[in-house]
Chains A and B, each alone.
Chain A
Amino acid sequence: MADSLLSFFATAERRAQRPWPRYRLSLAHWQALVERLASAGWTLLGLWAETAEVHAALLDEAAREIAVASLACPDRRFPSLSAARPSAQRLERAAQDLFGLTAEGLSDARPWLDHGQWRRRPFGDGAAAARPASAYDFLPVLGESLHQIPVGPVHAGIIEPGHFRFHCSGETVVRLEERLGYVHKGTEALMVGKPPAQAARLAARRSGDATVAHSLAFARAVEAALEIEPPPRAVWLRALMAELERIANHIGDVGAICNDASFILMQAQCTVLRERVLRAAGQCFGHRLMMDRVAPGGLACELDEAGVLRLRELVAEIAQHWPELLRIYDNRPSLLDRMVTTGTVRPELVRRFGAGGHVGRASGRGLDARRLPGYPPYDGLDFEVPVLTDGDVHSRVLIRFREVTASLGLISQILERLPAGPIAAAVPARAGEGMALTESFRGDVLAWVRLDEAGRIARAHARDPSWFQWPLLEAAIEGNIVADFPLCNKSFNCSYSGHDL
């Protein structure tokens, strides 16, 4: 009989991490974990390192249990999880780059975030060995009559930088290899030694489009570490901002995806609606993207009565136009011809990688951090988490349509029930370790933080949902034509900055 995640760790030394336990495993126990992962359905939620320790966060969906497994690696080596969980591969490559640890048995040990350009080691001291950026060993071309198309890092659109290497047979993509890390800014090293309030500004800039969700994840991790609760009004206003952010991004994405299929009308309509959301956010919260509004302990701004009215008008306006845009989308055969069956991701792949958000939900995986593990105020709110199974571009568009409708419902409920009271709690300066999961418009964001005795950041890490979605884009484009790549890519809309750290 299969035991649950927590019972598997029962014999290990438990560390004081909140709200979910962290276990320090022996090497034998870690190796047993690697074996166990091959058969257990546990999802890898994240993997990150420190100078001489590696951590893996796991989710047992059936038992609704979350735990972090840690392994001390004094000899700077740890057994890789990548054979059992391919989603660990790039995370382990990043751990190798940042901390010089070796993941033993890692199927692909090439550098990932480190392009050979850093002048010194990310954590700790010592000069880094510089090497030319072009020294990266791309996968070889296998097979006859194939050609390569290198794209990026500077792209044709107004988007973030990354490199895509297509292996093509005529029009058809045989293989896509991604190379990321171009926007690696060293955010996590910069956070070290800063008080949470300052580090929160860096957390807010991990991925600008998901700034609320990342700020919320960081704030909740700090609050968990310090065992403090933000006041109820702050909790509800945070959710309000998070749903506004979700709506703004999904509306923008629907327009942009249609634009990549040359259906400009939808793009124009969606950019107008998106702009209305951003203007309302700017008027209500003082920043169009609501950056730096969520802070550890609560919120950095209030919402007045005029703001509540303004947001009610906004909800009414979007709710009026949104069904009409769905009708337009759904009644254009020439548009659907581009969307349906394009860029398909199989459900088993989504499950293996633990991909969330519209990528997961379009391929049958309905996990939503607002429901599992769940966090306030969502436990008391009524909302749909749509799930489809076709896994194509069309499904990812439809998921967005339905999530906007769900978020409009959430905003109305929140405005109705918004409690009064203070919006921030004091943040004491003391040690602690905490973790949080929040649902961004892309999927679940994991944040982990350890505070030292003075209450400063000893180590902070965030795993953007894109980590588990980028690899699936490589699978989605296989067998599609090159011209459909922008469509596939936009339907994923993975973050570069959130991924590159």
Chain B
Amino acid sequence: MWKTLGRTLISKPLPIDAPAPDEAQLAELSQRLDRAARLRVGRSLSIREVDAGSCNGCELEIHALNNPFYDLERFGLKFVASPRHADVLMVTGPVTQNMREALERTYAATPDPKWVVAVGDCAFDAGLFAGAYAVAGGVDAVIPVDLHIKGCPPSPVQLLQGLLALLERVA
């Protein structure tokens, strides 16, 4: 374990060195996100994730935001365990009829000021699930939405871009 830990400590940080095509975009995005986060919310914005009916695809990519490549917390953006601790609700999925009440109550439990980010094509307008008897609609059919991040699922880079857009609005 110490060998692995030691190697990790002396190796270059992953976001800069990883040889992937979206790396340049990510580096640029990281800088902008960092500046905006410092400026607007003093490096502290808490996000509560709510799955209101997704297939779990969006959750996987939201999870990826916490890996060392994207490392969301370096921007002061972090996921919290309760809506009572949150500034932002990040909602995925077409809102199912069975989750509608839970989403409404989560929104009510989030203190003001608060922002809602709807993540994924389903959260935008219920996507492929529009019109189903078990689906209430996109997120804004149930609670007001400040920002949509589209994609099926959106990649971690797209999610970072979306959060940047949010930070620019949160003034």
| A residues whose Cβ falls under 8 Å from a Cβ of B | 115, 117-122, 128, 133, 153-154, 156-161, 181-187, 189-190, 201-202, 205-209, 211, 252, 265, 268-269, 271-272, 274-275, 278-279, 282-283, 288-289, 291, 324-325, 328, 331-332, 495-497
Contacts and interface: CB of A to CB of B under 8 A. Distances in A.
Interface in B39-81: 49-64, 66-69, 79, 81
B69 to A, nearest CB: 5
Contacts of A288: 61, 155
A181 B98 contact: yes
B112 interface: no
A185 B68 contact: no
A122 B4 CA distance: 53
A206 B59 CA distance: 14
Contacts of A283: 20-21
B153 interface: yes
B155 A158 contact: no
B133 A120 contact: yes
A228 B56 CA distance: 31
Given A118-B133, A272-B14, A161 B57 contact: no
Top 5 A-B pairs, shortest CB-CB distance? A208-B57, A271-B67, A156-B81, A186-B134, A186-B132
B68 A157 contact: no
A289 B98 contact: no
B4 A328 contact: yes
Contacts of B128: 190, 201-202, 205
A153 B56 contact: no
B83 interface: yes
Interface residues of B, number: 53
B97 interface: yes
Contact of A184 (B55, B102, B134): B134
Given A121-B133, A122-B134, A183-B51, A205 B57 contact: yes
B138 interface: no
Contacts of A115: 97-98
B101 interface: yes
A274 B98 CA distance: 32
Contacts of A181: 98
Interface string B1-27: 101110010000010001011000000
Given A201-B128, A269-B4, A331-B1, A160 B135 contact: no
Nearest to A183: B53
A189 B129 CA distance: 10
B50 A133 contact: no
Contacts of A332: 1
A272 B50 CA distance: 24
Contacts of A201: 128
B53 A185 contact: yes
Given A153-B99, A161-B51, A497-B55, A289 B21 contact: no
A205 B55 contact: yes
Given A208-B60, A275-B67, A497-B56, A157 B81 contact: yes
12 contacts: A118-B133, A118-B134, A120-B133, A161-B50, A182-B53, A183-B93, A187-B132, A190-B132, A202-B128, A208-B57, A211-B57, A495-B56
A201 B152 CA distance: 11
A192 to B, nearest CB: 11
A239 to B, nearest CB: 21
Given A208-B153, A209-B60, A265 B97 contact: no
B139 to A, nearest CB: 14
B57 A185 contact: no
B68 A272 contact: yes
A252 B131 CA distance: 34
Nearest to A495: B56
A133 B98 contact: yes
Contacts of A265: 1, 4-5
Nearest to B23: A279
B124 to A, nearest CB: 14
Contacts of A122: 133-134
Contacts of B98: 115, 117, 133, 181-184
